[in-house]
Chain A
Amino acid sequence: MKSGTLELEGISRRFGQTVALDNLNLTIGAGELVALLGPSGCGKTTALRIVAGLERSDAGTVALKGRDVTNLSAHLRNMGMVFQSYSLFPNLSAVENVEFGLKMRKVERASRRKTALELLELVGLDTQSRRFPHQLSGGQQQRVALARALAIQPEVLLLDEPLSALDAQVRTNLREEIRRLQISLGTTTLFVTHDQEEAMAISDRVGVMSNGRLEQIDIPDILYNNPASTFVANFVGTMNHIPAIASEDAVDIFGKKIRIKNPDGKIGKVSALVRPESIEVSRVQGNGQAKIVTRSFLGASSQIVCQLPDGVIIQALMPSHASGELHPGEEVNLNISIHEVLISHV
């Protein structure tokens, strides 16, 4: 396969006073799909645009297969890109759009038409090949854009929030399709998104960014279960902030001492960060630690929302069979089922 590794080293970029990227280091292995995840303005799109050559960096290098392409013009980089907004050429039909990159590479007409039709078939649009962009739905347009990006057999596929403008159903389908194609073609891919579910669902590794820095990059499981910072913990998945008292290296939550994962020696009031599935809710007679507000049945599991006496809301996620007897208004005790916890100072 043509795809190779992509290495970003020490990439920095400022826009006036704003630091968009601060010494970003990132390596994407051949055939790997890495997502950059973060809130808007965290620098993820700038990073992607620098890789594409559409934006210059103030410092650092971009290397492709070990070759420095930092100063290479965008049109010579051989990277396929799918944009957030619809970017099809409005004056060209679907198949002509897919052909465009091959036409620029002076591929002979019959052969590029054949390749383009094959790619349209791959994204399930072979019957729409002669339609113009304005005759296609949003999801279809992004499929054509994907086929167009893949037609040039790119060294790297760059996806800049390609799903954010689409309906929920189309989004889920298309992201699975992107992943399927990416795996079967073995294309090295950089995927930029602000949607953590999207990033976790289809990426080999996810990099969480904040203020131009890469906070943590790892496989989705580790990112979720073992976040390196409170920012990552809060950004990825649902997180409870439980008021607790910290001693030096442990914290007291609901009468149980739990080791602090990020101890800084401070003592006093803190928030303990606990995932809903790490909280067990059990009924008690008389006064409990919390009161149930609602129980939502989600299928295999149920979400139980409780309120502490001081008003703080806690979310718990339990297997439905174990939570069937919990009803709103009941007094309950809460048990933390993990042995180590991240804290943040309030």
Chain B
Amino acid sequence: MAAMRSRFSFALPLTLAVASLFIFLPFGSSAEFSFRSYSQDGKLMHSFAPYRWIVEQPEFLSHLLLSLKIALFAVIFTAILVVPSVAWLHLKAQLFRPLVELITLLPLVIPVVALSIGVQTAFPDWLQSTEYELPLMYVILALPFTFRILDNGLQAIPLKTISEAARGLGANWFATIFYVIAPVMRRAVAGAFFLTFALSLGEFTLTSLLHWDTFPTWVTSVSQQNIIGAIALSVFSLTFAFLVVFFAGLSSSRSKKRMDATE
């Protein structure tokens, strides 16, 4: 028992160390590389020059804003389309849950080329090549993950029973959703939002296939002429996405803590 415990307490930090190496070594190296610049005589220096270069690019802000806008739309579409669907599945159509679960895996299985063409053809004409096209596709790409986050969150809660209890206590459907369903789903919904947001901000393959020019595709084109600038851009966007998710996660866990508070 004691031996097992000591082995266990040793295994955890080791795993963490290996995992963080896997994440931080490439990131650290990229970060180091992104600060490099060369003096007149070819000597290696570290400075903010590549980042100054980024800010000076006229395309930088426009691409970043476009990507942010698309990511925001993807989150909104997730809120409108995915969240109510999963809640409905738990409330009224438990029978179809396994089937839907299977279907949500398809974006992982189908090659992005096939997916992009298939989905685009399925869209109505008025939607094709508008700026709502990409967010909707990102919603589909994120579905294997968002569905599971929401589904797991709801598995733990008897949503049907508690919404019936709310109805019995005099809550109409609006009040039931507002006071009961939404609060208990909040954490799962937040998770689904972060994931959609992060995925949308970094998606390249599908975007490029559909000839859209967003932040990630612009970074790729920058890398053709200025590799250090491209790496600096990647480091910037990674840090940016991480900070967004981190602060959003922090505020949602704070509200969770308030919920758990006892006397």
What are 27 A-B residue pairs whose CB atoms fall within 8 Å in the complex? A53-B168, A54-B164, A54-B168, A75-B170, A75-B172, A76-B170, A79-B168, A80-B168, A80-B169, A81-B165, A83-B161, A83-B165, A85-B158, A86-B161, A87-B158, A87-B161, A89-B165, A89-B166, A89-B183, A90-B184, A91-B183, A100-B171, A132-B260, A132-B262, A145-B165, A148-B165, A152-B170
**Closest residue of chain B to A158, judged by CB?**
B168
Q: Does B162 contact A (CB under 8 A)?
A: yes
A85-B161, A89-B184 given as contacts; is B262 within 8 A of A75 (CB)?
no
Q: How far is the CA of A119 from the CA of B36 in the complex (A)?
A: 70
Q: Is the pair B184, A101 in contact by a Cβ cutoff of 8 Å?
A: no
**Closest residue of chain B to A129, judged by CB?**
B263
**Closest residue of chain B to A78, judged by CB?**
B170
* In the complex, chain A residues whose CB is within 8 Å of the CB of B170: 75-76, 78, 101, 104-105, 152
Q: Does A52 contact B (CB under 8 A)?
A: yes
> Beyond A83-B165, A91-B259: 10 further Cβ-contacts under 8 Å?
A52-B168, A76-B170, A87-B158, A89-B162, A101-B170, A104-B169, A104-B175, A130-B263, A148-B169, A158-B168
A86-B158, A91-B184 given as contacts; is B165 within 8 A of A104 (CB)?
no
Interface residues of B in 162-218 (CB under 8 A from A): 162, 164-172, 175, 179-180, 183-184, 186
* In the complex, chain A residues whose CB is within 8 Å of the CB of B158: 85-87
A75-B171, A90-B157 given as contacts; is B184 within 8 A of A131 (CB)?
no
Q: Is the pair A100, B168 in contact by a Cβ cutoff of 8 Å?
A: no
A89-B162, A152-B169, A152-B170 given as contacts; is B262 within 8 A of A131 (CB)?
yes
Q: Is the pair B165, A87 in contact by a Cβ cutoff of 8 Å?
A: yes
* In the complex, chain B residues whose CB is within 8 Å of the CB of A86: 158, 161
Q: How far is the CA of A53 from the CA of B179 in the complex (A)?
A: 20
**Closest residue of chain A to B183, judged by CB?**
A91
Q: Does A270 contact B (CB under 8 A)?
A: no
Interface residues of A, Cβ cutoff 8 Å to B: 52-54, 73-81, 83, 85-91, 100-101, 103-105, 130-132, 135, 145, 148-149, 152, 158
Q: How far is the CA of A86 from the CA of B158 in the complex (A)?
A: 8
Instruction: Write the nearest CB–CB distance from B261 to chain A, whole angstroms.
Output: 8
A83-B161, A130-B262, A130-B263 given as contacts; is B167 within 8 A of A54 (CB)?
yes
A90-B184, A91-B183, A91-B259 given as contacts; is B167 within 8 A of A83 (CB)?
no
In the A-B complex, the 8 residue pairs with the closest CB atoms: A101-B169, A104-B170, A87-B165, A81-B168, A74-B167, A91-B183, A87-B161, A130-B263
Instruction: Write the nearest CB–CB distance from A55 to chain B, whole angstroms.
Output: 10
**Closest residue of chain B to A79, judged by CB?**
B168
* In the complex, chain A residues whose CB is within 8 Å of the CB of B262: 130-132, 135
Q: How far is the CA of A148 from the CA of B179 in the complex (A)?
A: 16
Instruction: Write the nearest CB–CB distance from A121 to chain B, whole angstroms.
Output: 16
Instruction: Write the nearest CB–CB distance from B169 to chain A, whole angstroms.
Output: 4
* In the complex, chain B residues whose CB is within 8 Å of the CB of A90: 157, 162, 184
Instruction: Write the nearest CB–CB distance from A128 to chain B, whole angstroms.
Output: 10
**Closest residue of chain A to B168, judged by CB?**
A81
* In the complex, chain A residues whose CB is within 8 Å of the CB of B161: 83, 85-87
A130-B262, A131-B262, A135-B262 given as contacts; is B162 within 8 A of A87 (CB)?
yes
Q: How far is the CA of A89 from the CA of B176 in the complex (A)?
A: 11
Q: Is the pair B169, A100 in contact by a Cβ cutoff of 8 Å?
A: yes
Q: How far is the CA of A52 from the CA of B165 in the complex (A)?
A: 10
Instruction: Write the nearest CB–CB distance from A95 to chain B, whole angstroms.
Output: 11
* In the complex, chain B residues whose CB is within 8 Å of the CB of A131: 262
* In the complex, chain A residues whose CB is within 8 Å of the CB of B183: 89, 91
* In the complex, chain B residues whose CB is within 8 Å of the CB of A73: 172
* In the complex, chain A residues whose CB is within 8 Å of the CB of B165: 81, 83, 87-89, 145, 148
Most buried by B among A54, A87, A131: A87
Instruction: Write the nearest CB–CB distance from B21 to chain A, whole angstroms.
Output: 37
**Closest residue of chain A to B176, judged by CB?**
A75
Q: How far is the CA of A85 from the CA of B175 in the complex (A)?
A: 22
* In the complex, chain B residues whose CB is within 8 Å of the CB of A132: 259-260, 262
* In the complex, chain A residues whose CB is within 8 Å of the CB of B167: 53-54, 74-75
B129-169 Cβ-contact flags toward A at 8 Å (1 or 0): 00000000000000000000000000001100110111111
Q: How far is the CA of A101 from the CA of B168 in the complex (A)?
A: 8
Q: How far is the CA of A203 from the CA of B172 in the complex (A)?
A: 32
Q: How far is the CA of A56 from the CA of B186 in the complex (A)?
A: 31
Q: Is the pair A75, B184 in contact by a Cβ cutoff of 8 Å?
A: no
**Closest residue of chain B to A98, judged by CB?**
B169
Q: How far is the CA of A224 from the CA of B180 in the complex (A)?
A: 44
Q: How far is the CA of A103 from the CA of B178 in the complex (A)?
A: 13
Q: Is the pair A74, B263 in contact by a Cβ cutoff of 8 Å?
A: no
Q: How far is the CA of A146 from the CA of B129 in the complex (A)?
A: 57
